[in-house]
Chain A
Amino acid sequence: MIPWEQLHGAMTHFPIALLLFSAACDLASVVLHKFTFARELRRVSFYGVAVSAIASVGAVVSGIALTNGNMWGRGDLGWHHRFIWPAFGLLVALAVWRLIVKDAMSRAGLCVYLVLMVMASGFIAAAGYFGGELVLGGG
């Protein structure tokens, strides 16, 4: 018997932390663009979003197994899913886009990318909150 509850708990923190970290590095690289390390920050954020997307597959698979394939649900589980599916879709799209574009980003492209990164971070943070509520309870 695979302990999906423990596996999901362990796996799910990687994409959350890495996505938030990647978004923070991207925003910092824009704010601190005059410094030479801004380029390194962008490189770190690139690897962050790439590993986050890969890790999210494990988190999603373990989550589906944990809920017996219930992709929606009610209450906190429903809210967890309402946020996690847009976050997962956005995360995959952003990672693929970044992988192809690399550093050949225009100003407009960077702006749209950052807005979507902030949105994905919000979605994944909210999904993480409701996931925590499922485990720890609301009271």
Chain B
Amino acid sequence: MFNEVEIRAATTAFIASVCVLTVTFVGGGIYWQHNGRLAKDKPSSESEALVAKGRSLFLQSCSHCHGRDADGGEDAPSLLKLQISGAHMTLVIQNGIKDEMPSFAKKYNDADVEKIVAYLKTLK
């Protein structure tokens, strides 16, 4: 059925694949740990990046209605000085408001919504 060269090659290929995946995951894990330590050292720059990304997403999808500075538009209210929690903001972004605001659950994943919420929390 299979010749000898193929069987030997299959064993080598399996070992090579396992080795490459192991090195990849171990390397990735070490990089993850290293970056985790960096994040602890620089919390402000991390959160600044989160807010900046959140503003970028806001400009892409929310500013049409809420205004570029989130101070409200013709069809949507101002988002300055929101008195609701981050969890509530997440809920509204993901589920929308019936007949008023569309859901963004399909467009943005949890991490993206977290960035938008981080940006909204900085608005005063």
Contacts and interface: CB of A to CB of B under 8 A. Distances in A.
B111 A106 contact: no
Interface residues on B, range: 20 to 34
Which A-B residue pairs are the 8 nearest by beta carbons? A139-B107, A69-B32, A75-B109, A69-B31, A100-B9, A93-B17, A97-B13, A96-B13
Nearest to A53: B20
Interface string A123-139: 00000000000100111
Interface residues of A, number: 31
A97 B10 contact: yes
A60 B24 contact: yes
Majority DSSP secondary structure for residues of B touching A: helix
The SS class assigned to the A binding surface is: helix
Residue from the set A70, A75, A85, A97 with the largest chain B CB neighbour count within 10 Å: A97
17 contacts: A64-B24, A68-B35, A69-B33, A70-B28, A89-B18, A90-B17, A92-B16, A96-B16, A100-B5, A104-B3, A105-B6, A106-B3, A106-B6, A108-B1, A109-B2, A139-B104, A139-B107
